[in-house]
A and B are shown apart, each in its own frame.
Chain A
């Protein structure tokens, strides 16, 4: 089966003094129907990984493929088209159009996605006026009564839920979510996770989420740990017991120590890419 997104030996370095290399030979494959979690210490490149996967940042070495196509070879227009229909984002900080209401933010995103999916102009317009779809999506995450509010009038948690609704409504092939449960209480975090699970349940789409919350990470189909530019996968079946590899990384022991401690329980993501 062709992976939706496949990274192979990806290196990304930011020019600074000294240079920072958040991704140092990362390999990873995201298959259709998968819910993938990436965790790791803050500031170690998890967001960079998502941005490289999504084609927002170009890698310095290695390849990033979307449905088998090398994203490095895509022209800007093709990359734009990919973002309209193929890959959606939920950023760590909820980004919204401040001059648009909650509903209008969703309609705009739906308009982009609707056009991208090749609907005729008439159908697209009908879709825009199909407010039921947007309202239903808002209700899904408890925002029905905030539909006509501007982002500045929403709480941080409500803004977070709104960007999640927007991302889900656009119906991309892959959704890359950076700390999607930040600012959410447990109940809403559960709801978001359930939505992600539902999103991938058709077996055609995938979600990659970066999270610090191990309890949610471990509910994913695959769990990866990024540390010192290296991506490790927590071995299948090990997630529940024992959990030391991931936690040891998060506690600052480092990937090498984690590997040593787990005695092979953690394996490089490369194996998943095969």
Chain B
């Protein structure tokens, strides 16, 4: 029976491809949707859990781009003077403050990194945002001047770099960036924010690179990169009202804007909920459409094959095995399509998340292997369930009207 099913698949290739295509589309959409939504949800969750800073202080000129700065690794080359650091630290309710310095986006044309990556300078001495998420530091680790932070600073040095979770891999642990050679000192856990797509280095090294960069030359006509910061990451004291602290920060630092990171995450989270609802509606419609389309396809196949199924019966093949042969053929085609569909879905979901991430400033996190496993299993289970539901009508018809009898009555040849 397997041989017959296999031959029916391979020698009726057009019919098999049509059946497979319908199954492919349905399974792909379901699996890809699961992966994309999981990625976005994971991004929001990580953002919420791992933001580290309660408030971002940016130059007023960058105020329209706070989401992009937080979630999309878009460099904003507008700077605050370094005095802002002290002014922020003096604000009541501020527990910790650490500066960051955005250089520029780099790619293969200038550096040995693959793809496009943002280069950011950090101050290891005061950093509390990244230190907890260094691979191996442990969840919930380091806040403030922790042991991890100190060790991290020592390890980073002035020629070390730290790779975000989604930053390109560096071959050989050494990278050439804008003419300077850096050693990979470590990597970070996924955070769902721009941190994931960034290469971090010591703030002084970043300033030196920026000072020499021909792309940024015009910026330094009126400013000194060694006296500038791009943003301040601020954490507030327990019990302090972040909104109030943000207001006071803006008042204390002229030309700045202070944004509560939790507001940004909440905003994105609500956007994601809307996307999920829309996706769910489309998915339900798609599933119904797929069931109808496949049922129609299977029914048409069964009708066109009724003569052969009847012939099997006259050769003494039981009704169950005849139905089984048909179901086996359908199952093989659908399963093959489903396997391809889940593979393609896994391959392209990252791209889809990337588009949402950059086009709509959505957080996007690397999907854990377990989520891929779950989505693949769900896609394949969906394919099995879809086939089973769509096979009901043709099989019931076979049971009600034995093809052997139809053949014998001369209704089919």
A interface with B by C-beta (< 8 Å): 47, 51, 54, 56-57, 76-77, 80-85, 89, 91-93, 95-100, 104, 108-109, 112, 116, 150, 170
Query: With A56-B408, A108-B4 known to touch, is A89 a contact of B314 (CB < 8 Å)?
Result: yes
Which of chain B's residues 201-218 have a Cβ closer than 8 Å to chain A? none
List 8 additional contacts besides A91-B314, A100-B7, A108-B315; criterion CB under 8 Å: A80-B313, A80-B317, A82-B316, A84-B316, A85-B316, A95-B310, A99-B8, A99-B12
B interface, over-half SS: helix
Give the residues in chain B near A91, CB-CB below 8 Å.
314, 407, 413
**Binary CB contact string for chain B from 291 to 316 against chain A (1 if under 8 A, 0 otherwise):** 00000000000000001101101111
Tell me if B318 and A76 are in contact (CB < 8 A): yes
Tell me if A97 and B315 are in contact (CB < 8 A): no
Tell me if A99 and B7 are in contact (CB < 8 A): yes
Per the bound structure, the CA–CA distance linking A104 and B308 in Å amounts to 14
4 pairs of A and B residues whose beta carbons are closest in the complex: A84-B316, A56-B408, A93-B413, A83-B316
B interface with A by C-beta (< 8 Å): 3-4, 7-8, 10-12, 307-308, 310-311, 313-319, 404-405, 407-410, 413
Q: Which of B4, B409, B413 contacts A97 (CB 8 A)?
A: B4
Give the residues in chain A near B308, CB-CB below 8 Å.
95, 97-98
Tell me if A95 and B11 are in contact (CB < 8 A): no
Among B10, B314, B410, B413, the most chain A Cβ lie within 10 Å of the Cβ of B314
Among B4, B12, B315, the most chain A Cβ lie within 10 Å of the Cβ of B315
Give the residues in chain A near B404, CB-CB below 8 Å.
56
Per the bound structure, the CA–CA distance linking A116 and B407 in Å amounts to 22
Per the bound structure, the CA–CA distance linking A256 and B372 in Å amounts to 80
Nearest-CB distance from B256 to chain A (Å)? Answer: 74
Tell me if B316 and A112 are in contact (CB < 8 A): yes
Per the bound structure, the CA–CA distance linking A59 and B257 in Å amounts to 92
Per the bound structure, the CA–CA distance linking A57 and B313 in Å amounts to 12
Tell me if A47 and B410 are in contact (CB < 8 A): yes
Tell me if B405 and A57 are in contact (CB < 8 A): yes
Pairs across A and B, CB under 8 Å, 29 listed: A51-B409, A54-B314, A54-B408, A56-B404, A56-B407, A76-B319, A80-B313, A80-B318, A83-B313, A83-B314, A83-B315, A84-B315, A84-B316, A89-B314, A91-B314, A91-B407, A92-B410, A95-B310, A95-B413, A96-B311, A97-B308, A97-B311, A98-B11, A98-B12, A98-B308, A100-B7, A100-B11, A104-B3, A109-B315
Give the residues in chain A near B8, CB-CB below 8 Å.
99
Give the residues in chain B near A108, CB-CB below 8 Å.
3-4, 315
Per the bound structure, the CA–CA distance linking A271 and B11 in Å amounts to 51
Per the bound structure, the CA–CA distance linking A113 and B364 in Å amounts to 62
Among B313, B405, B407, B408, the most chain A Cβ lie within 10 Å of the Cβ of B408
Give the residues in chain B near A150, CB-CB below 8 Å.
11
**Chain A: CB-nearest residue to B314:** A89
Give the residues in chain A near B310, CB-CB below 8 Å.
95
Question: How many A-B pairs fall under 8 Å by CB?
Answer: 71
Give the residues in chain A near B12, CB-CB below 8 Å.
98-99
Per the bound structure, the CA–CA distance linking A262 and B4 in Å amounts to 52
Give the residues in chain B near A96, CB-CB below 8 Å.
311
Tell me if A99 and B315 are in contact (CB < 8 A): no
Tell me if A95 and B311 are in contact (CB < 8 A): yes
**Chain B: CB-nearest residue to A82:** B316
Give the residues in chain B near A51, CB-CB below 8 Å.
408-409
Query: With A100-B4, A150-B11 known to touch, is A95 a contact of B407 (CB < 8 Å)?
Result: yes
Give the residues in chain A near B314, CB-CB below 8 Å.
54, 56, 83, 89, 91
Give the residues in chain B near A99, CB-CB below 8 Å.
4, 7-8, 10-12
Nearest-CB distance from B307 to chain A (Å)? Answer: 6
Nearest-CB distance from B300 to chain A (Å)? Answer: 15
Nearest-CB distance from A266 to chain B (Å)? Answer: 27
Give the residues in chain B near A84, CB-CB below 8 Å.
315-316
Give the residues in chain B near A56, CB-CB below 8 Å.
314, 404-405, 407-408
Per the bound structure, the CA–CA distance linking A100 and B315 in Å amounts to 15
**Chain A: CB-nearest residue to B311:** A95
Tell me if A116 and B4 are in contact (CB < 8 A): no
**Chain B: CB-nearest residue to A14:** B409
Give the residues in chain B near A83, CB-CB below 8 Å.
313-316
Nearest-CB distance from A44 to chain B (Å)? Answer: 13
Nearest-CB distance from A115 to chain B (Å)? Answer: 9
Query: With A99-B12, A108-B4 known to touch, is A57 a contact of B316 (CB < 8 Å)?
Result: no
Give the residues in chain A near B316, CB-CB below 8 Å.
80-85, 112, 116
Per the bound structure, the CA–CA distance linking A66 and B315 in Å amounts to 17
Nearest-CB distance from A107 to chain B (Å)? Answer: 9
Give the residues in chain A near B10, CB-CB below 8 Å.
99
Give the residues in chain B near A81, CB-CB below 8 Å.
316
Tell me if A104 and B7 are in contact (CB < 8 A): yes
Per the bound structure, the CA–CA distance linking A104 and B10 in Å amounts to 14
**Chain B: CB-nearest residue to A97:** B308
**Chain B: CB-nearest residue to A100:** B7
Give the residues in chain B near A80, CB-CB below 8 Å.
313, 316-319
Give the residues in chain B near A112, CB-CB below 8 Å.
315-317
Give the residues in chain B near A97, CB-CB below 8 Å.
4, 7, 308, 311
Nearest-CB distance from A167 to chain B (Å)? Answer: 10
Give the residues in chain A near B410, CB-CB below 8 Å.
47, 92
**Chain B: CB-nearest residue to A47:** B410
Nearest-CB distance from B9 to chain A (Å)? Answer: 8
Nearest-CB distance from A147 to chain B (Å)? Answer: 15
**Chain A: CB-nearest residue to B10:** A99
Tell me if B307 and A95 are in contact (CB < 8 A): yes
Give the residues in chain A near B307, CB-CB below 8 Å.
95
Per the bound structure, the CA–CA distance linking A112 and B319 in Å amounts to 14
Per the bound structure, the CA–CA distance linking A182 and B65 in Å amounts to 83
Nearest-CB distance from A6 to chain B (Å)? Answer: 20
Per the bound structure, the CA–CA distance linking A51 and B3 in Å amounts to 28
Give the residues in chain A near B407, CB-CB below 8 Å.
56, 91, 95
